[in-house]
Amino acid sequence: MPQEVRFLSLEQALLTTLVVKVAVAATMATMLVRFGQFRRILLTEKRAWRERLTFAVALGIPVSLGVISRLLLNYDAADLSLAGSFLAGLIAGPYAGAIVGCLAGLPALAAGEWIAINLMVGCGFAGGGLRELSPKEAIWHVTPLLVTALHRQTWKLFGRFRIDWQITLLAAPICLELLRQVLGLRFGDQRLFYLAPATGWLVVLVVLTSVLSVAVPIKIWNTARIEHRLQEQEKLLMAARVEALASQINPHFLFNTLASISSLIRSQPDTARLLIGKLSGLLRRLLRSQEQFVTLQEELASIDEYLDIETVRFGPTLLIDKQIAPETLSQMVPSMLLQPLVENSIKHGLSRKVGGGRITISSARVGGQTVIEVSDDGLGMVTDGANLGARGGIGLRNVDERLRVIYGANHYLKLRSAPGEGTCARIEIPELSLPKVATV
């Protein structure tokens, strides 16, 4: 025997429609917030008329398509005309709400539902009016969870005789849905679409669905706003940390250089005078450039000025060897990144070595990374090769932390050293170069 086909009862069909309706509202809100321009509109409360028009069109088109789906496919769950019109007015103002109401009401008007366009435009103006009256942040505090505590909040509202804007904003779609039910009963479903419940508890669910169709998109959009603000705060915090770390470099470098000059004032006054002149030139350059990032070529130029000072101290015994790959010269690096590494090679590797020594600065592109190494053939230092910890000086710890803050935990200063053989400081930076300007 063929299996008996069972259809949903009217109550079951209505419940299914209500659940799907909330899901459609959540899906629409999620899809819209993925567009950058729509998301930027949500971030500001004072919007230009073009932004409001963009918001209204972006929201009105899917709402209108939902009405068309209902008319052509008999898919009642897609109709979000009331919630969409009210939501547009609440977020972007009365005129935006009216535009969405028109976009949602025109297909219904073409199908003979002439009451729909008047009601939807009215819903848009109702949402816009509440926006003008209520505090703007109160709108974003509307949450679906408040619906479960609506009866307790309402009692408190009457108990203290003070406006609770969250309750007021949720009460508005309740009143609008009840108005649609009354108009639908008065003029019939040929003149106005509405979900006609057969029992009192279904009326409550229909009204609750309209409230959720407003509260759920607000919750989704507010979550996106909060995530964006957190990202902006993280960027500002990172920029502040980088700036604070960079500000430690110059005083540390200045202190060490002045200490070197002071040791020469009595024994070699002419040399000390020459060092002061070169130091003032380097400081003028550093004061003129306040940028946090420079090209590797500019960084090497500042290193040359620093080495001019050290060469005066050490004389011809200090040899500098550069092995720079031409394609890495345009690589962007944090400003004053290499100076502490060169200073460390001189201070801990070569200053204690009899007969001077050699410092080699090299760069190369390896696997999408720019690898920069500063090595010397000095006496070496004790290090575990991966983590500087308390063994590195201020300059080395500063370089290590700047790399971790800017590029992440996988980018840090690596030291390789052996007593009597020298030290090599290695940095790996993600490939990032200045765009090349076409020449005519």
Please give the full DSSP string across 163-227, using - where no structure is assigned: --HHHHHHHHHHHHHHHHHHHHHHH-TTTS-----SSHHHHHHHHHHHHHHHHHHHHHHHHHHHH
Hey, what amino acid is at 151? H
pLDDT, tens digit, 9 for 90 and up, residues 203-259: 999 999 999 999 999 999 998 888 887 777 776 666 666 565 555 555 666 776 787
Distances (CA, A) of 421 to 154, 172, 343, 349, 392: 79, 79, 18, 9, 18
Q: Which residues pair with 422 in a beta bridge?
A: 418
Asked if residue 99 lies in contact with residue 127, where contact means CB atoms within 8 angstroms, the answer is: no
Q: Which residues of the chain have pLDDT under 50?
A: 1-6, 385-387, 389-390, 437-440
Measured CA to CA, the distance from residue 42 to residue 213 in angstroms comes to: 18
Sheet holding 318-324, edge to edge: 318-324, 357-366, 369-376, 422-430, 414-418
Measured CA to CA, the distance from residue 361 to residue 353 in angstroms comes to: 19
406 Cβ contact list (under 8 Å, min separation 6):
238, 242, 334
The dihedral built from the CA positions of residue 200, 144, 65 and 72, taken in this order, carries a sign that is: negative
Measured CA to CA, the distance from residue 18 to residue 183 in angstroms comes to: 20
pLDDT at 377: 85
The dihedral built from the CA positions of residue 386, 389, 394 and 399, taken in this order, carries a sign that is: positive
3.60.15.10, 3.30.565.10, 3.40.50.10490, 3.20.20.70: CATH of 263-430: 3.30.565.10
Measured CA to CA, the distance from residue 169 to residue 24 in angstroms comes to: 21
Asked if residue 384 lies in contact with residue 306, where contact means CB atoms within 8 angstroms, the answer is: no
pLDDT at 68: 95
- CB-count exposure of residue 148 (10 Å: 0-12, 13-18, 19+): exposed
Q: Which residues pair with 369 in a beta bridge?
A: 366, 430
Asked if residue 165 lies in contact with residue 153, where contact means CB atoms within 8 angstroms, the answer is: no
Domain ranges of the chain: 10-232, 263-430
The single-letter DSSP state of residue 48 is -
How many Cα atoms are found within 13 Å in the side-chain-facing hemisphere of 6? 4
- CB-count exposure of residue 234 (10 Å: 0-12, 13-18, 19+): exposed
357-366/318-324 β-pairing: parallel
Phi, psi of 294 (to 5 degrees): -135, 165
Distance from chain centroid for Cα 51: 21
